[in-house]
Structure 1
Amino acid sequence: MKRRGPRILLIVGVTVALLVTFILTALPGTTRSRIGDFFGRVFDPVTSVFQGGVDAVGSYFSAVSENRSLKTRLRELEEEGANLRLQITRDKDKVEAFEELKDALHLITHFEDTSITSAAILNREFGPGFDLFRVKAGRKDGISVSGNQTCPVVDQNIALIGRIHSTELSSSKVMPILHEAFSVSARVEGTYRSSFRVRGDLVLRQKGLCIADNIAEGTPINIGDKLITSGEGGVYPEGILIGEVVDVRTDAQGKMITCVVKPAVNLDDLRYVFVLMESADES
């Protein structure tokens, strides 16, 4: 025989539920309210906790969704920032190239019969002795030295930096004006008196200075005078700014023997130099 226990229990349960419903329906309103209040006090906290859990879960998923949106927006902003930095770098390079070209054009108008090559400085540190430094231009750019023949090196303001010391295929070494082996024929700007020599000095170069000597007696030189190349010797074109006289030294009889000169060029701030070469038509 089949077991009828579970079926009977189900029938009894349904019957009891119907009976309870009928009894509650038959009760007066006040009694129903009291019973409802009783069950409400029992189940309301459970309902509140359940509703709070539902709200918390909803808030969590909402926060997760917002966090994903923020991460996506953050990635977009980072990409925009990277593109902006790249554009700024490119624009900066264009500006520097334009300034270099403008400086070269200015030099070309000043030295019409001279070939000019611009070069970036490769080693930025000159060292305490201001020794030779290397620039990015060499024999393939037409720069060459031999014997007493060399090439002057100036900045964009036509101030003398030094001369080419030696060349390689793609680079050259420059001897700066402060080097003790450097010398150039000079005169006071605005005058055509006898020329004299400006050269590097082992002691003065530590202070960023050089010296003028071989000055003929009676040559008027005063503190504050500007010195330029005289053009004598055929290496340095006339009119290149050398520097300013900052001290005049005399002997026991009061005769001037040397001058201390502060170069016009600031070697520490250099990024580009310009090499002056003989034009192809003249060579």
Structure 2
Amino acid sequence: MKRRGPRVMLIVLVTVALLAALILTTLPGTTRSRIGDYFGQVFDPVVTGFQKGLSTFGAYFSAVSDNKKLKERISRLEDEMADLNLEILQNQNKLEAYDELKEALHLTTAFEDKRIHGAAILNRELGPAFDLIRVKAGRLQGITTSGNETLPVVDQHMALIGRIHSTELSSSKILPLLHEAFAVSAHVEGTYRSSFRVRGDLALQSEGLCLADHIAEGIPVKVGDRLVTSGESGIYPEGILIGIVVEIVTDGSGLTMSCKVQPAADFEQMAYVFILTEPDHES
């Protein structure tokens, strides 16, 4: 019993000391409370900053991950867009090829008694639309002229461009409708009255127009009329569209003397032409 007494006493004292410390810590103004408050002021901001740092790093890595996913998505969309653009371009090329084939078929149907030679424009001799035009088709392709013989040239819409001026081995030169040396017999579409002349005119070249003259008295011609070849010369088949009347020129008595004509062919956008030859007109 003597040995257990000191141990029990020690346990009691330690327990009382712990209870006293706990009570002192909870009381405001005590030394223990002030010490706890002091260390709390020091370590609380550190703990708070550490927690904020962890939160910031977490948000950063989350943003990096989201940005990587976004870049991958954008890359996939760009690839899809490139594939779509390629498909659109291929479809456009197919559509253009179909349109050209359809136009060529239409030309063949319209000129059943002619052989049609397609030719790409290489260059214009001096630049403007009314100078000679060089095309990629010559004697090797059966395009030949001799003496007064010439060949008509039209576009894919059967609008008159001009006539063959001269030929070489692999190319030819076209004298266009606007050139001052060009002339063709014409009449108003849908009428069968006397024909008149449509020709190039130096004064109208800068306006992109040609002139219709030698119009007999009594022939009704008005603005908006479509002029076509009459077929009288034997060079140009009847019915090829020349252009549209845009202005009437009269004399003092009001009689029609001439009229200005806007060619139906678009010389500025022209890339291909079609040369009409006779079926046996090949070398």
TM range (shorter): 0.7 to 0.9
Distance in structure 1 (CA, Å) of the matches to 2:244 and 2:20: 117
Aligned to 2:221: 222
- 1:151 deviates by 2.5
- 1:145 deviates by 3.5
Distance in structure 2 (CA, Å) of the matches to 1:74 and 1:179: 56
Distance in structure 2 (CA, Å) of the matches to 1:203 and 1:229: 23
Aligned to 1:82: 82
Q: Which moved more, 1:245-254 or 1:78-87?
A: 245-254
Q: Provide structure 2 residue ranges, at least 5 long, that are not aligned to the other structure.
A: 1-14, 27-32
Distance in structure 1 (CA, Å) of the matches to 2:92 and 2:217: 52
Distance in structure 1 (CA, Å) of the matches to 2:16 and 2:147: 127
Distance in structure 1 (CA, Å) of the matches to 2:131 and 2:103: 26
Deviations 1:195-232, CA, capped at 9 Å, x for gaps: 332210100122222123344x5461422343221223
Q: Is the 8 A contact 2:143 2:282 kept in 1?
A: no
Aligned to 2:62: 62
Aligned to 1:181: 181
- CA change 1:37–1:98 in 2 (3 A) is same
TM-score (norm 2): 0.75
Q: Which moved more, 1:185-194 or 1:92-101?
A: 185-194
Distance in structure 2 (CA, Å) of the matches to 1:91 and 1:31: 90
After TM superposition, the structure 1 = structure 2 runs for residues 167-206 of structure 1, keeping only pairs within 5 Å, are 167-168=167-168, 171-206=171-206
Q: Is the 8 A contact 2:142 2:282 kept in 1?
A: no
User: Are 1:160 and 2:160 matched, yes or no?
Assistant: yes
- CA change 1:40–1:254 in 2 (3 A) is closer
Which residue type is aligned with residue 237 of structure 1? P
- 1:173 deviates by 3.4
TM-score (norm 1): 0.75
Aligned to 2:102: 102
Deviations 1:169-197, CA, capped at 9 Å, x for gaps: 55543322111111112233334344332
- CA change 1:153–1:31 in 2 (3 A) is farther
Q: Is the 8 A contact 1:163 1:176 kept in 2?
A: yes
- CA change 1:64–1:251 in 2 (3 A) is closer
- 1:238 deviates by 1.2
Distance in structure 2 (CA, Å) of the matches to 1:24 and 1:165: 126
SS, match of residue 107 in structure 1: helix
User: What is the aligned-residue RMSD (CA, Å)?
Assistant: 3.4
SS, match of residue 130 in structure 1: coil
Aligned to 2:241: 241
Q: Is the 8 A contact 1:194 1:219 kept in 2?
A: no
SS, match of residue 276 in structure 1: strand
Q: Is the 8 A contact 1:121 1:272 kept in 2?
A: yes
Q: Is the 8 A contact 2:194 2:219 kept in 1?
A: no
Q: Percent identity?
A: 58
Which residue type is aligned with residue 243 of structure 2? G
Q: Is the 8 A contact 2:241 2:264 kept in 1?
A: yes
